[in-house]
Structure 1
Amino acid sequence: MSSVGLLYVGAVLFINGLMLIGLVPGRSAAILNFFVGTMQVVFPTIILIQSNNDLPTIFGAAGLYLFGFTYLYVGILQVTDVGGEGLGWFSLFVAACAVVIGALQFTLVGDPVFGVIWLTWAVLWFLFFLLLGLGRESLTYATGWFTIFVAHITGTIPAFFLLTGRFETNAELAVLVTVAAAAALAAAFFLGRRGVPHGKSSPHESAAVSPA
């Protein structure tokens, strides 16, 4: 995953999380979703064209489409009257794929840190499925907070380590990311119990999501 693309994954997840907790209007969030979604569809296409059938390169680019399509889907939902159920069930597909890619990061790629990051994304997209696909509106606020936390744990922070050439991957760091993700999930549900002080997002506005 490109370090630049990962940085903007952090940005779009942060904005979408703020949308879910009612701080950013859906139409305003749609703009960044279109920008990042387009980037994560165009760039992988260029990579695949230039890959010369190199399987590791193709594997690295394939997952980007899952998130690129998600962000474009979110943007479309925010500027139209289309319901979010389709995005919810697509999110279940993304979550399942993220579990597989996460497992392959551990076994095939040998990158336990990104293995944990992909599994964290799987949890986040599963929450999107519950929220949009099954209509669990009570999860809106908790999902929004988890999206905000995940934006930085899996996007912004690792992106800056990659951009500065200081990224490392080992079992100890993978455990640290796991603890951070678990704490973020617990904190998100704790904050979710407090209600939505800035106005509850509808399932239509709940189309927030991640990564590159």
Structure 2
Amino acid sequence: MGAVGLLYVGAVLFLNGMMLLGKVEPRATAIFNLFVGALQVVTPTVLIIANLSRPAEILGASGIYLFGFTYLYVGINLLGGFDSTGVGYFSLFVAVMALGYAYANFQILGDPAFGVIWLYWSFLWFLFFVLLGLKHEQITRYTGWVTAIQGWVTAAIPAFMILTGYWRNTNLIAVILAVFGLVVFIGLWPLTRGREPAAAAPSPGDEAVGAREHRHRPRWT
């Protein structure tokens, strides 16, 4: 069941990345964030209830709430036109906790591939903190690309591999993921720097009062 939810995490990350890159209108992504956020709250709840006597399963399911609450928070904020600071600082909390879950996957759950994936997520949610909490909008384009890529690499593809029985040899997968992440995300930095528009990105509230010329430059993930 967790793999099913992970598949749709890939979809929402890809969609949110496209939003940050100005390809999708922000409010159009809000509904899907709510759908996936709700799924990522229901899924771990069911998994925990079904595995009350299995601490490892509870540990694995508990981290899903971090993402469920993120997507619900983002969806509500996009629809309500609220300031992004709350999402940003919650993202910092997620980034720190993701380091703990990475350690748990390496040392307790015995899944080094997901240990690396949690490191990916820690990096991504830290970018959300810098972009939304600290409002360094010059990294919007970089964050958009990282978000979209991670939607496939950390969620959609692993979920499909798990569902089809191809998630094997996690040590090899961990090495591939680590090398891919270092090469791609370091390489993206110089390619995206200096390509942000001169004007600051508007808040959702600005859109609500008619700042139509900026509607594709949200501050949301």
- Same fold? TM cut 0.5: yes
Shift of 1:203: 5.8
Residue 207 of structure 1 aligns with an amino acid whose one-letter code is W
Tell me the distance in 1 between the aligned counterparts of 2:200 and 2:162.
Answer: 36
Is 1:18 matched up with 2:31?
no
1:207 maps to which residue? 220
Shift of 1:86: 0.7
Tell me the distance in 2 between the aligned counterparts of 1:145 and 1:164.
Answer: 27
Residues 14-60 of structure 1: per-residue CA shift (max 9 Å, x gap): 00000001110110011110110000011212222232242112111
Change (3 A) 1:138 1:115: same
Tell me the distance in 2 between the aligned counterparts of 1:110 and 1:188.
Answer: 31
Q: What is the root-mean-square deviation of aligned Cα atoms in Å?
A: 1.8
Is 1:88 matched up with 2:101?
no
Q: Which one scores higher on RCO, CA 8 angstroms, separation ≥ 6? A: 1
2:27 maps to which residue? 27
Is 1:118 matched up with 2:131?
no
SS of the counterpart of 2:31?
Answer: helix
Answer yes or no: is the 8 Å Cα contact 1:84–1:133 preserved in 2.
Answer: yes
Answer yes or no: is the 8 Å Cα contact 1:36–1:71 preserved in 2.
Answer: yes
Tell me the distance in 1 between the aligned counterparts of 2:200 and 2:46.
Answer: 40
Change (3 A) 1:172 1:62: same
Q: Pairwise mapping of residues 51-200 of structure 1 onto structure 2 (< 5 A)?
A: 51-193=51-193, 195-196=195-196
Change (3 A) 1:201 1:2: farther
Shift of 1:196: 4.6
TM-score by length of 2: 0.87
Tell me the distance in 2 between the aligned counterparts of 1:144 and 1:9.
Answer: 15
Higher mean alpha-carbon deviation, 140-149 vs 156-165, is at: 156-165
Answer yes or no: is the 8 Å Cα contact 1:19–1:25 preserved in 2.
Answer: yes
Higher mean alpha-carbon deviation, 178-187 vs 80-89, is at: 178-187
Tell me the distance in 1 between the aligned counterparts of 2:155 and 2:203.
Answer: 25
Residue 62 of structure 1 aligns with an amino acid whose one-letter code is S
Answer yes or no: is the 8 Å Cα contact 2:34–2:75 preserved in 1.
Answer: yes
Aligned length: 207
Change (3 A) 1:149 1:202: farther
TM-score by length of 1: 0.91
Q: Which runs of 5+ in 2 are unaligned?
A: 205-217
Tell me the distance in 2 between the aligned counterparts of 1:23 and 1:166.
Answer: 33
Shift of 1:79: 0.6
Residue 28 of structure 2 aligns with an amino acid whose one-letter code is S
Tell me the distance in 1 between the aligned counterparts of 2:183 and 2:147.
Answer: 13
